[in-house]
Chain A
Amino acid sequence: MTMGWQEQLRPGVALRGIVQQATEALIAMDAQRLEELALCCADLNRELEGARMSPETAADFRASAEDMELLNRILFETRANLAVFSRLHVMRLGEATRWPGTERDTTYGDN
């Protein structure tokens, strides 16, 4: 995983780094990066399972509550944006089928 120097740090801080990177990647709509980060998360989650939580780690987690809330909020806005563009796409599909002389095109990819 491309966690680099964060691996040497405490899990709470590392997770916080993931949240911030995921937030940036979501703004940039970098799907590949986000999928990498999701894998990182799953790995880290497995590592943390069953491990005793130190007060240090718990404090790190508390500190990242705001980052999580931000990610949550951006996810919300992203979904709304996604809905807008999906709707635009559907409108264009509708238009495409109304032109004279064009075949009805409802599929993509290889015809």
Chain B
Amino acid sequence: MRVDPFFVVNLSAPLDQTQTTQQQLTDELSSGLRVTSIGQDPVAAAENVQLLNQIQRDDSFTQTTSLTQGLLQVTDSALGSVVTQLNQAVGLATEANNGTLNASDLKSISNQIAGIRDEVLSLANTSYQGQFVFGGSQTGSTPFTLDNTTTPATVTYNGDADVNTLMSPNGQSIQLNVPGNQIFTSSTADVLGTLNNLIADYATGTAGGGVADTASLTSALNFVSQQRVGIDNSINRLNTASGVAKSESIQLTAVQTSLMQADIPAVSTQLALAQSQQSALISVISALGSGSLFDKL
């Protein structure tokens, strides 16, 4: 029996390999990408997934913040106007309290404060892009309604106490709203209630409980200013988070690009090497006999 077994020297495989290598390198040069298949560099391919994930998260967050900034600005500006209005109201009430005004002047002040109350009510019912900003999660219905039939008039809050947050990519929780009952009708600082009381106080032509109510109004005003600071903080945090996301995205994109991008001079060298390997193989195959190897395969 002959002993021959398996002399088929499979040189076609290394030849295919040099062909594959050259193809890869040529693709690299034309596409500018170093890693065109995961087998080429599995570690880089895996890193690429994670980098892209982070970059896309950052980019998406940046988009979101520009939508959210609008909401916060509107909230902030409304609160600012409320403070202005309340300052005016305090001024009027102080004047009313000093005892120098007559009954008809006091009635007039009552009317002016009523005007301020209407303005504040309107501000409390601010909406942004069709959603009421001070209603908690009940953004679809008017947060505050006024009932003029009682004396003093009553304000009802129709929203809830829900606070909405936005998560930044690094896990920060940014408050997006202040529920209306926390600012305008809270027990600590009942802005609308106090205004209604003052209106009722001066409507009869006397100061009535005006002094006490004015003190309440002043502390309510301070409270509103504090709440405004909370919104300002959110705006700042949002800006910062957005800035961080943008710069992280830029940095990571640079990392991702250099990870995946072809290095043209190096690739050209490798291509030259692969080509010379291929020529060497071809000449070995030819030397071993014309076509005989390929017949075997």
**Binding between chains A and B:** yes
Chain A residues close to B by CB (< 8 Å): 6, 9-10, 12-13, 16-17, 20, 24, 55-56, 59-60, 62-63, 66
> Which of A9, A16, A24, A55 interacts with B265 by CB under 8 Å?
A9
Q: How many Å lie between the Cα of A13 and that of B269 in the bound state?
A: 8
Q: Which residues of A contact B280 (CB under 8 A)?
A: 24
**Are A16's CB and B270's CB within 8 A?**
yes
Chain B residues close to A by CB (< 8 Å): 34, 40-41, 44, 258, 263, 265-266, 269-270, 273, 277, 280
Q: Which residues of B contact A62 (CB under 8 A)?
A: 41, 44
Q: How many Å lie between the Cα of A63 and that of B41 in the bound state?
A: 8
Q: How many Å lie between the Cα of A12 and that of B258 in the bound state?
A: 16
> Which of A6, A24, A59 interacts with B258 by CB under 8 Å?
A59
Nearest first, the 9 closest Cβ-Cβ pairs linking A and B are: A13-B266, A13-B269, A20-B273, A9-B269, A17-B273, A60-B266, A24-B277, A59-B263, A59-B258
Interface majority SS (helix, strand, loop, mixed), chain B: helix
Q: How many Å lie between the Cα of A13 and that of B265 in the bound state?
A: 9
> Which of A17, A55, A56, A66 interacts with B269 by CB under 8 Å?
A17
Which A residue sits closest to B272, measured CB to CB? A5
**Are B266's CB and A63's CB within 8 A?**
yes
**Are B266's CB and A10's CB within 8 A?**
yes
Which A residue sits closest to B284, measured CB to CB? A28
Can you report 10 residue pairs joining A to B where beta carbons are below 8 Å apart?
A9-B266, A12-B266, A13-B265, A13-B269, A13-B270, A16-B270, A17-B269, A24-B277, A55-B258, A60-B266
Q: Which residues of A contact B263 (CB under 8 A)?
A: 56, 59-60, 63
Q: How many Å lie between the Cα of A24 and that of B279 in the bound state?
A: 13
CB distance from B10 to the nearest CB of A (A): 13
Q: Which residues of B contact A17 (CB under 8 A)?
A: 269, 273
Which B residue sits closest to A60, measured CB to CB? B266
CB distance from B284 to the nearest CB of A (A): 9
